[in-house]
């Protein structure tokens, strides 16, 4: 399985916007391996912001005709 790691960042309109910060993959023992593209930002108190995860769904491949 492949997962997207993202944070929620407030937009100018006050709504939260997702920003991708990396990916995660599952290992054979069902543990996760995290791959961050950048350092996780901190809030005003020096704590890291929450990182969320969502599954990346694979697009189904169309069946190919065999001649």
Q: pLDDT value at position 66?
A: 60
CB 5 within 8 A of CB 20: yes
Q: pLDDT value at position 8?
A: 93
Burial class of 60 by CB neighbour count within 10 A (0 to 12, 13 to 18, 19+): exposed
State the average pLDDT for the chain: 88
Q: Using the predicted structure, report yes or no on whether residue 65 has a pLDDT greater than 80.
A: no
Question: Each residue of 29-59: pLDDT tens digit?
Answer: 989 999 999 998 888 899 999 999 999 987 7
């Amino acid at each position: 399985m492949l997962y997207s790691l993202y944070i929620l960042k407030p937009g100018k309109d006050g709504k939260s916007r997702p920003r991708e910060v990396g990916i995660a993959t599952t290992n054979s023992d069902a543990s996760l391996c995290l791959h961050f593209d950048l350092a996780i930002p901190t809030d005003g108190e020096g704590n890291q912001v929450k990182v969320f995860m969502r599954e990346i769904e694979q697009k189904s491949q169309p069946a190919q005709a065999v001649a």
